[in-house]
Amino acid sequence: MDTILSLAAQNLLSPIILSFALGVAAALAKSDLNFPEAVAKGMSLYLLFAIGFKGGASIADHGVDGQLIASLVVGVMLSFLLPIIAFGLLRTITRLSVLDAAAVAAHYGSISIVTFVAGSSILEAQGIGFEGYMVAVAAAMEAPAIISALWLISVKGGGEARGMDAGLMREIMLNGSIVLLIGSFAIGWITGKEGLAEISPFITDPFKGVLCLFLLDMGLVAGRGLARAGGAVSGRAIVFGVVMPLIGASLGLASAWLLGLSVGGAALMMVLSASASYIAVPAAMRVALPEANPAIYLTLSLGVTFPFNLTLGIPLYVALASAVIGG
């Protein structure tokens, strides 16, 4: 137990978590601290390229095995399953309509790539290795939850979903983050260690510094979202925003154990299962379920679950993965 607590404390006091906390604090204090939109976008592109490339290079180094395929399949299954659990929980503990509950549920089956990047960075800082293909698992877990949410609407009623037309499917599958992540993963895989060595001064050395600044910006976004949300979500919905990641992480840990992932891989599977989307899924929900209230799902995913995962969740998941998988 002491080890778990000391690991958690160590994570909480890391530069990236403290940078995020600074952003949240500045936003809540109504500071005018702000990042130009283009700078924030540039940083996110850099981080996605770097994490994808490093994952691909790691695959080139270790090769492809059945565990990779199994991890992808399990990731997709989790993404289909988690919204159904989230929907049931929301309908039990909150008064959200079927439509709003399904829209929120979709976010919790999908993933937050920033949380994943932060998690992998914390693992690297602690010298805990992880399977490079977890980047591909992250990409695979982005979209299935949206299909689950639309299925829930069709089964439970409560609204009219626009449906997954070709345009919406293309927007989800080819959204910039996915293309860059998979594309850089492929480049890293093709060029391997040599390719990584060539651009390492660009994608490895400055990575943590850029991540700190990016999370500072994300802290500002999350803090302002929280401040603006006001009465948009009930206390029970906020409880959901904290409990659901823990349920997701538990399923992620069980899946990782069954898959035989390493401690780092298990921690990242927990992070992916616990995180909630706030980029791809909100956009998909605006197209497919425009009557669902965006203030609810954005506040929960970005204002509650994202800060929770970043500050308390990731340290907890790393500690639990170490305790359960690492023995």
The binding site for another protein (CB under 8 A) comprises 34, 37, 40, 44, 162, 167, 218, 220-221, 224, 278-280, 282-283, 285-287, 290-291, 294-295, 298, 302
Task: For another protein, give the closer residue by CB, 238 or 279.
Answer: 279
Q: How far is the CB of 162 from another protein (least distance, A)?
A: 8
Task: For another protein, give the closer residue by CB, 282 or 313.
Answer: 282
Q: How far is the CB of 256 from another protein (least distance, A)?
A: 28
Contact 113, 178 (CB under 8 A): no
Task: For another protein, give the closer residue by CB, 131 or 217.
Answer: 217
Task: For another protein, give the closer residue by CB, 207 or 278.
Answer: 278
Dihedral Cα 308, 310, 313, 314, nearest 10 deg: 180
Contact 321, 267 (CB under 8 A): yes
CA 263 – CA 269 distance, rounded (Å): 10
One-letter amino acid at 243 equals: V
Q: Would you call 165 exposed, middle or buried from its count of C-beta atoms within 10 A (0-12, 13-18, 19+)? A: exposed
Task: For another protein, give the closer residue by CB, 240 or 278.
Answer: 278
Helix (H, G, I), strand (E, B) or coil at 92: helix
Only one residue has tokens 């109504």, namely 30
Task: For another protein, give the closer residue by CB, 132 or 282.
Answer: 282
Q: How far is the CB of 167 from another protein (least distance, A)?
A: 7
H runs (alpha helix) in 63-143: 66-93, 98-109, 113-125, 134-140
Q: Would you call 290 exposed, middle or buried from its count of C-beta atoms within 10 A (0-12, 13-18, 19+)? A: middle
Q: How far is the CB of 101 from another protein (least distance, A)?
A: 18
Q: How far is the CB of 34 from another protein (least distance, A)?
A: 7
Q: How far is the CB of 113 from another protein (least distance, A)?
A: 11
Here the tokens at position 170 are: 């293309």
